[in-house]
Amino acid sequence: MDMSTDIRALVLGRVGADLYPLQERTPLEEVLTFERFVGGFAGNVATGLARLGVTTAIVSAVGDDGHGRFVRRFLAGEGVDLRWLGVHPTLRTALAFCELWPPNDFPLTFYRTPTCPDWELTEDDLPLELLATVPLLYVTGTGLAQEPSRSTTLAALRARQLAARAASPAGSGGPALTTILDLDWRAVLWSSPDEYPGLISAAAGLADVLLGGAAEFAAAELDPASSLELGPSVAVEKMGPDGARVFRAGSVVNVPGLPVPVTNGLGAGDAFAAAFGAALLAGMGPEDAARQG
């Protein structure tokens, strides 16, 4: 039996090892010890979905090194399908050093340039049959930062859109395929940041849902309401402690946040994305899905 038919969500994007300081309220230059975790949009979202009971696969790549083996072992332990998590023979696994202070403006130091395994994904790495059938697909703006990942991400979106149209022609009531584009704006990862708005607009025209914070929409030179004119049916603006706003044609719904003490906000947006997608798969509308996030 083809086990890919059981996969409910596919996450395409960056993954790596994140090193967090064991000393809180301490700048990076004064930190003495770190603990290692799996990070990156695809790693975080795939883990979140799997923990919520969604059968999930990841399309990404790591290096043939200790950090890469750590990433693979962790994700396998979480139940994520690793068939499309490649191992690059020469490039090192992406790393990020994270600071825990201040908690709402968590500085990150990335080791991904000039390139890293997940930026070297090509169209040959895409599971095209799965792209055509999996109910939920996530892609990320960081995948557009440079080639060949840029072309690969856009190719995945185009293949997905064609499959969605074939699966559910207008008025047919066929199975729905949902594609989520997370804006995932990290200026430091773009050698030409001025390319970001145009590329995001192109990708948005191939997606069903946009997810991003206010700064990310601003970097893309979009506002959530007008972004719907590009093609998505839903745009969700994440607002941190203030919750989220869900935009659909002619409507906007405010979803209040839940007050919690903040030690570290890193990964909160990815956790929201995972819970939001899991709720969509459970049959909720986007407003109720945002409440689950």
Residue identified by tokens 């109720």 is 288
Q: Kindly indicate the confidence band of residue 2, based on its pLDDT and cuts at 50, 70 and 90.
A: low
- Residues 88-134: pLDDT tens digits? 999 999 999 998 877 667 789 999 999 999 999 999 999 999 999 99
Domains of the chain: 3-14+41-91+114-292 (3.40.1190.20)
Q: In the predicted model, what is the mean pLDDT of the chain? A: 93
**Beta-ladder partners of 234:** 209
- Residues 169-207: pLDDT tens digits? 654 455 589 999 999 999 999 999 999 999 999 999 999
**Residue 63 or residue 105, greater confidence:** 63
Exposure string for 160-173, b = 16+ CB within 10 A, e = fewer: bbebbeeeeeeeee
Q: Is the pLDDT of residue 13 over 70?
A: yes
CA dist., res. 57 & res. 80, Å (int) = 6
Q: What is the 3-state secondary structure (H, E, C) of the chain?
A: CCHHHHCCEEEECCCEEEEEECCCCCCHHHCCCEEEEEECHHHHHHHHHHHCCCCEEEEEEEECCHHHHHHHHHHHHCCCECCCEEEECCCCCCEEEECCCCCCCCCEEEECCCCCHHHHCCHHHCCHHHHCCCCEEEEEHHHHCCCCHHHHHHHHHHHHHHHHHHHCCCCCCCCCCEEEEECCCCHHHCCCHHHHHHHHHHHHCCCCEEEEEHHHHHHCCCCHHHHHHHCCCEEEEECHHHCEEEEECCEEEEECCCCCCCCCCCCHHHHHHHHHHHHHHCCCCHHHHHHHC
**Beta-ladder partners of 59:** 12
Q: Is the pLDDT of residue 66 over 60?
A: yes
Residue 238: closest CA among 180, 156, 157: 180
